[in-house]
Structures are given as C-alpha cells and as structure tokens.
Amino acid sequence: SAQLNPNSDYVEAIRRTFAVSILRFIKPWLWSDFTFYKSSLGRLLQKRLHILHGFTDSVIKERKTEILDKIKDYENTFDSIGDAIDAAMDSIGTKRRLVFLDILINYHLKHSDHMSERDVRSHVDTFMFGGHDTTASSLMFTLMLIGQHMDIQSRIHQELNEIFSDDMDRDITVDDLRKMKFLDQCIRESLRLYPPIQIIGRQIEKSFQLKSGYHIPKGSTCYIPLICLHRDPHYFPKPDEFDPTRYDSDCTANRHPYANIPFSAGPRNCIGQKFAILEEKAFLAQMFRKYSIESLVDWDDTKKVDFGLGGISLTDERSDAVYFSQSHIITGVTFLTRKPKPRLILTLIIKPFDDYVWTWIAVSFIVIIGTIYVFKYIDIDLKFNSSAIKWAVVSAALRQQCDVVIPYKLRQN
C-alpha cells in the first residue's frame, strides 16, 4: 500500500525519521543520547521507528513462516537441516532469482549465530531507507545534466537505437541494460557531480597521523565530504564539467579506486548500489528511447554552491521551485517541491582535535549556553521548512525538496 499511497504511515515515518535526524545534527545540545531521547524530537523518532520496525518485522515474520513451512516438507527427505533449507529455497527459486529478503532469511536460518533476525531487519531497513530518496534525487540530476548537454543526449539516443533496433517498444531486459555502456557512464558522472549522500562517516578504530601532521585519535569519527572528494582536480581535470568519457577504460585504469565513491566503499558500502544503477538505467532507457529532454535554464544561472576552505559553505541564490514533468507529458512543468526557500546558510567545518576530549567538554558548555539563543530562530524556520534545512546542512547538491528551477522541454522522438 505504501507504493500506491504516498501518505501511508510507513512513508510518512521514513520522511519524519530523515527530518528528525537532520534536526539533531544541527542542534548540538541534542547530540547526547540522554538529552536527545528525553526531548520531543527523541520521542517522535522512537514513535516513527516503532512504525518502521513494526512493518519490517511483520514482513520478515510472514516470509520466514512461509519458508519454514517449506522446510518442514523436506525435513524427512534429507539428513541435515542445511540440505532441507537448500531444497526449500530451490523450490522457491534459484539463488539467481531469489529476492533480497529470501537471501537474508536463508543465511539467517543457516547461520543464526552470525545473523540474527534483528540483523535481517537492519539490512532490510537499510535497503528501504537507502533507496527511498537517493535514487529519485540521482535521477533528477542525471536528467538535468543530460538535458543541458544535447551532444551527450544524442549519443544516448544512438546507443539505445542500436540496442532496440529490432523493436523500440519491447520490454527492457537485463542483457539490454548491460549493453548500455555510455548511459552507465552518464549516470556515474552525474553521481560524481551530485552524490545523493554528500557526507559519509567512519569511526576510527586505531589512532594514526595524517601526512599533514594531524593526529586522529582512536574512537573519533571521521567525516568524508564526497562532494569535495569527487571534484578534486587531481583526480578529475576540469572537475565541474559533465564529462561521461571520464569513465572510459583508459581513463579509469590509473585512477585511484576511492576517488569516486558515491556509494561509499569498504565493508560498509551501499548494499543496493548495483540495483540502484540498474534501476536508473531502466528508467532512463525507457524515457530516452521515446523522448528527448532539454533544459531551458543553464545550471550556472540556477544555483551556485561555494566550497570554502576549512569547510563547506552552502549558499542559496534562487527562491524558485524545482520543476520536472512526468514521462507521459510531452511538454510542461510539474512541482516537485512544496517548501519555501531556505533562509538559513550554514557552514559545516570539519577539524580534528588532538586533545579532543577536553576541547569537546569546553566547547559543549559554551555551545549549549550560547547557541540556545543563536539557534532559536531556526525553530521558527523549521516549522515550515525542515526539509530545506536538510539541504542547507548536508547537501551540496539539489534534492527533491530544494529550491531551484529546472524548467525543461520534453519532446517525443
């Protein structure tokens, strides 16, 4: 029902959970778990998480019961429970056809000491949260960039015409998606310029020292601003330009593998990154094999993001709304935002401290006393524009709730 009803309790809970997380991020007095969970925001988050976890638990329980019933049918046939589980899963579908939840439950049943039912829920929640807003945001940027570069769009049309030369109206297959090499490059270049997640964090497990001389203590949290990493001219010449050829094989061969990590990297990377790329390719292929899109306003005239030294300074220069159209409309505009422009300009500064404990205690005391009044006006703004604050704090690129105009012209091919 969540797919058919955008106002369902589950969808609303996801939206509120995102908003509460951002509000906590910009209010230092809520960084402490004790203070946060005693506040109204903390209680609201717990209520929303109860809805989210309740829905996920019910889905897992229902599916697990179905699989256990299947396993019972095979217990008398096989000597080991592992073989019975394999037979039951084979009856549901081969591993290549198993859905994500079935794969998790299968592993949980075989290795319950390594993956509990709560772990299954965490993975499902991660998959749902990660794909709720990020894919839509990435698609919006990709469409905007392709609509501003008609030469690149022509290459996309040429590639799709070759793939679907037999029938432009037939269904898209997985083999078709694998052949869309240039479209894949366009998506990855869009993710480089405008990653849906702009900052990732990691907890430091071992103290070390940077080449610059900064000492990073064990237990601290390191934040990586992807928007800055992806625009480093050392790895990407002319970093502000949209150039999908950066992902030609000869260009990527000598590039550091972590120079572009829109899905993060390492064991804690995005579990849905392959699905996200395939999903975007399917959507864009379906659209561009029938339509052409043209942006009517240059990006430079619409929004500017200033990357200041010592942090990320985000400035809002326009007060209009984002425009885009559903694919079935030939020409026109449709609102994607319902929020007014953000009136708050924030600077996020990331600086490691050698003696971080006492520095934190001293700074916290000053911040709690002083910023209660400084941040008081934020509450007035947040009542009307919490999603805009999310943009102002952690986004160095547009999201669906941002205040930018992207009018376009959509033509049928």
**What DSSP element (H or E) covers 86?**
helix 81-92
Name residues whose C-beta falls within 8 Å of residue 409's C-beta, 6 or more positions apart in sequence. 293, 294, 296, 331
Give the C-alpha separation, 43 to 31, whole Å: 15
Q: How many other C-beta atoms are found inside a 10 Å radius of the C-beta of residue 166? A: 6
Find out whether 270 is annotated in a ligand binding site. yes
Q: What six digits make up the tokens of 172?
A: 């898209």
DSSP state of 306: B
Residue-wise over 265-297: b if at least 16 C-beta within 10 A, else e? eeeeebebeeebbbbbbbbbbebbbebbbebeb
DSSP state of 413: -
Q: Are 335 and 322 contacting, i.e. CB atoms less than 8 angstroms apart?
A: yes
Name the binding residues.
270
Name the binding residues for heme.
270
